[in-house]
Amino acid sequence: MPFSNQTIWITGASSGIGEALAYTFARQRANVVLSARRVERLERVRLGCTRPNDHMVLPLDVAMPDTHEAAYGKIIERFGKVDILVNNSGVGQRARISETTLDVERRIMDVNYFGTLSVTHIVLPDMLKRNSGKIVVISSVLGKISIPFRSSYAASKHALHGYFESLRIELADTGVDISIICPGFIQTDISVHSLIADGKEHG
C-alpha cells in the first residue's frame, strides 16, 4: 500500500473532507494525526478508523500559530516525522461584501490562509532536511473563480494558490512535493459553519 507506515497530519480532521481522508489513509495502514479544535469529534473519528490505537488526536486551532510548534513536537515525539501534511482546516462564508465587517474578513484569512502557512512553516524545515515529504493544500474551485457572497473565502483560496504555486517552484530541486486540491461543491458541514456578515455561523 502506498501510504503504509507513513505519518500523515490532517488539520480540520473532525468532519468533512478531513474525516473522510482520515478513514482512507487509515485503511491504507498510515499513521494518522488528527487535528482540529473539537477533541470529542476527533476522538470519534479516531475510533472510526482502522487500527484506532495507531492514530493520534492532536487538538489544534490553526488560527493560534503560537501553539503550532509545541503541537508538532508531540508528533515528532511519537512518530519521529511527518511524511504528509494535509492542510484542510478552513471556514466558509455566506455574506455580502457591503455588510461584512473587516474583523470577520480577517478571521477568515487567519484560518484559511495564515493558519495554513503557519503549519506549513512548522513541518517544512524537517522535510527539507530529509529531502522527502508532501504538503497538500485543500483549496476550492473558488481558488480559481469567485461568486457572490464568498468574497473573503475566495480571496483566501486565491491567496493559497499564489503562495503554494510559488513554493512548488522553489522546491523543484528537492524531494518535497506540493499538491493543491480544488473540490467543487460537496456534502460537508462547511455551509453550516460558514460565517455571515457579523461573524455568526450561517447554520
Give the single-character DSSP code of 93. Answer: B
Q: 112 is written with which cell numbers?
A: 484559511
Decide if 36 is inside a domain: yes
Is the Cβ–Cβ distance between 104 and 149 less than 8 Å? no
CATH number at residue 184: 3.40.50.720
Decide if 99 is inside a domain: yes
Is the Cβ–Cβ distance between 193 and 91 less than 8 Å? yes
Average pLDDT of span 8-24: 96
The rounded distance, in Å, linking the Cα atoms of 142 and 92 is 11
Instruction: Give the containing element (helix H, strand E) for 79.
Output: helix 68-79
| pLDDT-derived band at 43, boundaries 50, 70, 90 | very high
- For residue 64, what pLDDT is reported? 97
Decide if 169 is inside a domain: yes
Average pLDDT of span 82-86: 98
Average pLDDT of span 153-174: 97
Q: Which domain holds residue 99?
A: 7-193
Decide if 198 is inside a domain: no
Helices and strands (DSSP H and E) totals, the chain: 7, 6
Decide if 112 is inside a domain: yes
Q: How many domains does the chain have?
A: 1
Average pLDDT of span 170-183: 97
- For residue 177, what pLDDT is reported? 98
The rounded distance, in Å, linking the Cα atoms of 106 and 20 is 28
Average pLDDT of span 128-140: 97
Average pLDDT of span 187-197: 59
72 in catalytic set: no
| pLDDT-derived band at 20, boundaries 50, 70, 90 | very high
Name the residue among 45, 50, 47 with its Cα closest to residue 25: 50
Residue 47's φ and ψ, nearest 5 degrees, are -70, -25
CB count within 10 Å of CB 103 equals: 9
Exactly one of 23, 72, 113, 153 is catalytic; name it.
153
Does the structure show a pLDDT above 80 at 107? yes
Percent of the chain with pLDDT over 70: 92
Does the structure show a pLDDT above 70 at 196? no
Decide if 53 is inside a domain: yes
Long-range contacts of 171-176 (CB under 8 A, 24+ apart): 171/128, 174/128, 174/131, 175/130, 175/131, 175/132, 175/133, 176/124, 176/127, 176/128, 176/131, 176/132, 176/133, 176/134, 176/135
Name the residue among 42, 76, 73 with its Cα closest to residue 59: 42
